[in-house]
Amino acid sequence: MNQATPATGHMTIAALEPSEKEALVGILPAGRPALARLVEYLANNPHSPSVNVNRSCAIVNISQEATAANRRLYGKGYMVGCMRPPVPLKNRFEQEKAQHLWSLYKLPEENS
């Protein structure tokens, strides 16, 4: 599931070695520790539903933190992004949830 597709904007899920992950986290602002938690979590847990990211990273507004992280990551050829699941996630009452699947992506070479 790491292949680039039109649905992912031709980006691939970032598969990082520990040293690569450490280097990416190192470019994030030290004053925003939530950014490091987000990038580390998504590097290890691609396609994470919003609720899992909220709970695991202690982040309420994922989009806000992703935007802040992307300011630094984009120049290195990576970005935090989300997409709607192919089949909507449902809550315990079988109602569709407004959840997205979050991942750390490697940008296509022409964009990095």
Digit-coded pLDDT (tens) for 35-91: 999 999 999 999 999 999 999 999 999 999 999 999 999 999 999 999 988 877 777
Residue 95: what pLDDT?
Answer: 77
Q: How sure is the predictor about 112, in pLDDT bands with cuts at 50, 70 and 90?
A: very low
Residues 58 and 34: beta-carbon distance below 8 Å: yes
Q: What is the mean pLDDT of residues 13-23?
A: 93
Which has the closest alpha carbon to 44: 55, 54, 33, 53?
53
Q: For the chain, how big is the Rg over CA atoms in Å?
A: 14
Give me the pLDDT at residue 68, please.
97
Answer yes or no: are the C-beta atoms of 2 and 12 closer than 8 Å.
Answer: yes
The predicted pLDDT at position 3 comes to: 54
**What DSSP designation does 96 have?**
B
For residue 28, what pLDDT band results from cuts at 50, 70 and 90?
Answer: very high
Q: What is the DSSP letter of 35?
A: H
Interval 87-104 mean pLDDT: 83
- 7 pLDDT exceeds 60? no
For residue 1, the model assigns a pLDDT of 46
Name which of 40, 100, 36, 46 is nearest 69 in CA terms. Answer: 36
